[in-house]
Amino acid sequence: MNKQKKYFAVSWVNFRYTTWIAYLAAGICVIAMIVDLFVDTVMGSKDIFTISPYSMLYIIPLIAPVLIATVNYGKLMNIGVKKKTFFSACALNYVIFALIISIVGTLAYYFVDIPLNKIGYNFYGIIDIFGWNTSIFDTFFSQLTFILLIQATVHTLAFMQTKWYGWAADILIAAVVSVFTPIPVLRGAEMFFFEKTMFARPAIIHILICLIMAVLFYLTNLLYLRHREGN
C-alpha cells in the first residue's frame, strides 16, 4: 500500500473509531438548540438571545483530537501503523474537520442567523463573539484557521501527556495564566496575545497568526516522535 493510501486509511479509522463520541455530543447540543427554538416559536416567546446551533459544532475540534491522540493512537500502534503515518493522517483529519465546520458555520450564519435576526430572533454565535462577520471570506477563513489552531493545540497536549514535557506544558500554561492575569502589565500582554489570535483586524492578521501557530504547535509532535521507537 502506497503512502497516500495509508494516510487515507488511517484518517478513515480516525473519523470512525471513538470520534463518534464528539459527533454525538455536538449533535445532541445542536438538536437541543433547535428544539429550544421550536418551543419558543410555538409558545410565541423569544429569548434575549439564542446560541446559534452551528456554534455547538466547535465541540468536535475540542473532543476529537483528545480521542485521536490517545485512544486511536494506541489502537493504531498495536496494529503496526507507523507513527509518522499517524502524524500525517491526523493532519488530514483536522483539515477536513476544520473545512466542514467552517463551511457549515459560514452558511448557517449568512443564510439562517442573519435572515432570522431580521425578523425578530436574536441568534448569537462564535462568529458574532469574535467579530468574524466583516465578509464571507473573513468568516470562512477565520473559522478555518482558528479551528486548526484549537485542534493542533489539543492534539499536541493530549499526545504528550505520557511524557514529562507534556505535564510541564500543562503546568507552564497554568502558571502563565495564574501569574499574568492578576498583574496589570502582564495581563495587558496576555490580552494582546488573545486579541491577535482571535480579534485581530484586518482579519488577514488573525488568519495568518492562527495558521502559523497551528503549524508550529503540530510540528512539535515530531519532537515527540523522534524520541520513540518504531518511526
**Quick one: which of 146, 125, 126 has its CA closest to 205?**
146
- Considering only 45-49, 54-58, 88-92, 149-153, which range has the smallest mean pLDDT? 45-49
Q: Report residue 100 CA to chain centroid gap.
A: 11
Question: Which of 127-131, 152-156, 200-204, 211-215 is predicted least confidently?
Answer: 200-204
Cβ proximity of 132 and 143 under 8 Å: yes
Q: How far is CA 170 from the centre of its chain?
A: 18
Q: Is 51 helix (H, G, I), strand (E, B) or coil?
A: strand
Report phi then psi at 123, rounded to 5: -75, 140
| 124 strand-pairing partners | 51
Among 41-55, 92-106, 137-151, 157-171, the least confident range: 157-171
Position of cell 502558571? 175
The predicted model gives 17-46 an average pLDDT of 83
| Higher-scoring residue by pLDDT: 43, 214 | 214
Predicted confidence band at 34 (pLDDT cuts at 50, 70, 90)? confident
Confidence of residue 230 (pLDDT cuts 50, 70, 90): very low
| CA–CA–CA angle 97, 99, 105 (5° rounding) | 100
Q: What is the pLDDT of residue 42?
A: 73
Across the range 160-187, mean pLDDT stands at 56
Model confidence band, residue 48 (pLDDT cutoffs 50, 70, 90): low
More confident residue, 147 or 172: 147
What's the whole-model pTM score? Answer: 0.84
CA torsion 198→204→210→212, rounded to 10°? -160
Q: What local confidence, expressed as pLDDT, does residue 39 receive?
A: 78
Query: Higher model confidence: residue 139 or residue 201?
Result: 139
Percent above pLDDT 70 for the chain: 76
**Dihedrals φ, ψ of 48, to 5°?**
-55, -45
- φ, ψ of residue 121 to 5 degrees: the values are -80, 165
Q: Can you tell me the distance from the alpha carbon of 104 to that of 4, in angstroms, rounded to the nearest whole number?
A: 27
- DSSP class of residue 201 equals S
Q: Range with the lowest mean pLDDT among 33-42, 182-191, 204-213?
A: 182-191
For helices 203-226 and 136-159, angle between their N-to-C axes, nearest 10 degrees: 20
pLDDT on residue 231: 42
- Which is nearest to 166 in space by CA: 177, 153, 179, 176? 153
Q: For 92-140, what is each residue's pLDDT tens digit?
A: 999 999 999 999 999 999 999 999 888 877 888 899 888 888 899 999 9
Name the residue ranges covered by the structural domains of the chain: 3-134
- Whether residue 173 has pLDDT greater than 60: no
